[in-house]
Amino acid sequence: MADSVRKKFRKILERPGATIIPGAHDALTARLIASKGFEAVYMSGAGVVNALAGLPDNGLASFSEVLMNARYMADTVDIPLYGNAVNVVRTVRDFERAGVACIQIEDQVLPKRCGHLDGKQVVSRDEFIGKIRAAVAHRTDPDFAIMARIDAKYIHGMGEAVARGKAALNAGADVIFIEALETRDEFIEYAERCPGPLLANMTEFGKTPHISKADFEKMGYKLVLFP
């Protein structure tokens, strides 16, 4: 089934228009999302920590807990699943075996925080791009997608966020997840300056204002996440 869901995710990235991806924290919510006709599901890091430990998203879930959750979710649905990654080489190996369609590589310093919380820090651009290259090099299935999540705009500004996005695409990333933009104009600017498959995160109660799927489609975004 892994080959099938990865090809489905590739088709989502390659076709015209934007696709809504809801977030889930366990196998049951993933199944409910699939039953409503959505084409992919996101394993929410915040949701996993909230559900497992009743705590905020401060990087408190262990690798084994996240991997186990991903395996259960991937086994439950026949739509693509993607989620967070920490240790790149091990993550690529284990999450690929678990049947996940895509992993998310982030530029935050560990332990990471929710992208919409204050106080987060990011690694250097070189270190981040090294993680992307490692992920691309160690996947065995070329359809196993690599998503580069960029939190740097909040800390270093739009120019650095754009530079990281372009460098990640050049390093082999399949999608750019630009996190915590604060205005509609910033989303437009990012899409213009970093052309490629882009994801917009419409988390509730965060720094990002609500923008419709139709508007994101006009801007050129490929995926719209409701985690």
pLDDT at 126 over 90: yes
Q: Which domain holds residue 217?
A: 2-150+164-194+205-226
Torsion of CA 65, 46, 200, 7, to 10 degrees: 20
Residue 199 lies in a domain: no
pLDDT at 158 over 80: yes
Whole-number mean pLDDT of the chain? 90
State pLDDT tens for residues 59-72: 667 788 888 989 99
Which residue did the predictor score with more confidence, 159 or 210? 159
Residue 159 lies in a domain: no
What local confidence, expressed as pLDDT, does residue 90 receive?
84
Residue 10 lies in a domain: yes
State pLDDT tens for residues 128-157: 999 999 999 999 999 999 999 999 998 999
CATH of residue 8's domain is 3.20.20.60
Residue 204: pLDDT band by 50, 70, 90 thresholds? confident
Residue 157 lies in a domain: no
> Where is average pLDDT lowest: 76-85, 169-178, 194-203?
76-85
Task: Give the chain's domain count.
Answer: 1
Residue 49 lies in a domain: yes
Residue 77 lies in a domain: yes
> What whole-number percentage of the chain has pLDDT above 90?
70
Residue 158 lies in a domain: no
Residue 135 lies in a domain: yes
> What whole-number percentage of the chain has pLDDT above 70?
91
